[in-house]
Amino acid sequence: MNLKELAKELNLSISSVSRALRDSKEISVSTKKIVLAKAKELNYHANPFASNLRRQESKTIAVVIPEIANNFFSLAINGAESYAQKKDYHVLIYQTHDNLQQEISTLKHLQNGRVDGILISLSSQTANTDHLKDIKNKGIPIVFFDRVAENINAPKITTNDYESGFKATEHLIENGCKKIAFLSISNKLSIANKRMNGYLDAAKKHGIAPDYKQIINCDTDKEGNTILIKKLLQRPDRPDAILACVEELAVSSYVICQELKLNIPRDIKIISFSNLQTAAILNPSLTTITQPAYEIGREAASVLFQLMENKGTLQRCGDVVLNSELIIRNSTKMA
């Protein structure tokens, strides 16, 4: 069932039917009604590819993320998808699994016009950003969220990473901690570095500047991370607190502490950047810095739509910084 057949059924020209269906005001109300009714009756659905081809737009955005099965990202997608749905847009999902090659190849694919815009959170291995520049140069609207590329001139939606790192560290210090370790996810990600700088500055301010043995650079190899953390916790001068850059590292730390019979929070306190509200509820000893993940996704989508609607006209769209919340539970209060 296509326009041609529908038009024949109606004894109208293809273009009139097309116009009627898109509610053009060149068409009389009465004809519109008839057309709409017939379309419904015959279960007509416009072929999206034909109209995409003709109109040179896809009504689709892509969301490129490291991993969908991650509380933060799935919440962010939720926000973005809900926003897109309202705008009658479709959402394509691509996972990079924190693999730079995957990210590059995905973005290459997206240069062909399949999407009108891109929402992206970088892989933790992304240092070189040529593939991102290609997208910019092609004029495809792109918005970064959370894991952003600092050297690309495009809107970035982030949270107050530096302040959060600072506050969390200060909170630990105020509760008696003196040897605070920092678990980073990647030294290539600006969010990780910002969080670390907050941590470093807070420590410095209180005169307990950490040596670099207390900063552990983890990566995507879970096994390897476990070994690193275990080593850290088995040292004679083991830390009395851990600030984990992401949830996964906090969970690993937690498990290792159990294994080593280290009591949380008595022997060691843990604070994590996290969105695992549920886990936090289930485990009151876990203090978290909770990012407004849903809002980040929503805001990112909103900015992307501004960009798309003003393609060309709009020179730049302001970056947005949302606030994370330090949710203090028993762990750190009980000094």
Partner DNA sequence: CTGTTAGCGCTTTCAG
Partner DNA sequence: CTGAAAGCGCTAACAG
User: Do 244 and 250 touch, CB atoms closer than 8 A?
Assistant: yes
DSSP class per residue in 158-207: EE-HHHHHHHHHHHHHHTT---EEEEES-SS-HHHHHHHHHHHHHHHHTT
Per CB under 7 A, does 58 bind DNA?
A: no
Q: Which listed option, its own copies, DNA, none, makes contact with residue 82 (CB within 5 to 8 Å by class)? A: its own copies
Is residue 2 involved in binding DNA (CB under 7 A)? yes
Picked from its own copies, DNA, none, the partner binding residue 278 (CB below 5 to 8 A depending on kind) is its own copies
| Among the residue ranges 18-26, 136-144, 204-212, 254-262, the one whose residues contact DNA (CB under 7 A) | 18-26
CA–CA separation, 169 and 202 (whole Å)? 6
Lay out the sheet containing 325-327: strands in order across: 215-217, 180-184, 241-244, 269-274, 287-290, 325-327
Nearest approach, Cβ of residue 8 and DNA (Å): 11
Q: In the set 8, 33, 47, 87, which binds DNA (CB under 7 A)?
A: 47
Q: Which is nearer to DNA, 18 or 275 (CB)?
A: 18
Radius of gyration over every alpha carbon of the chain, rounded to an integer in angstroms: 25
**Based on CB atoms, which residue is closest to DNA, 21 or 92?**
21
Nearest 10 degrees: Cα torsion 168, 171, 176, 177: 10
- Please tell me whether residue 85 binds its own copies under the rule CB under 8 A: yes
Residue 4, contacted partner among its own copies, DNA, none, CB below 5-8 A by kind:
DNA
Q: Are 70 and 95 in contact (CB under 8 A)?
A: no
CB 268 within 8 A of CB 257: yes
Interhelix angle 3-10/14-21, nearest 10 degrees: 100
Nearer to its own copies, 29 or 69 (CB): 69
> Which residue in this structure is represented by tokens 């096994």?
223
Q: With contacts defined by CB under 7 A, name the span among 4-12, 189-197, 220-228, 272-280 that binds DNA.
A: 4-12
Regarding 123 and contact with its own copies (CB under 8 A), the answer is no
Residue 220 engages its own copies in binding (rule: CB under 8 A): no
**C-alpha dist (Å) from residue 247 to 37, 170, 231:** 53, 19, 19
**From the list 68, 209, 227, 314, which residue makes contact with its own copies (rule: CB under 8 A)?**
68
| Position 316 contacts DNA (CB under 7 A) | no
Closest CA to 242 of 305, 168, 307: 168
* Comparison of 130 and 237: residue with beta carbon closer to its own copies: 130
Strand-pair partners of 120: 64, 144
Please report, as ranges, the residues that interact with DNA according to CB under 7 A: 2-4, 11-16, 18-19, 21-22, 25-29, 31, 46-47, 50-51, 53-56
Please report, as ranges, the residues that interact with its own copies according to CB under 8 A: 43, 45-50, 52-53, 58, 60, 67-71, 74-75, 77-78, 81-82, 85, 90-95, 108-109, 111-114, 134, 247, 251, 254-255, 276, 278-279, 281-283, 286, 294
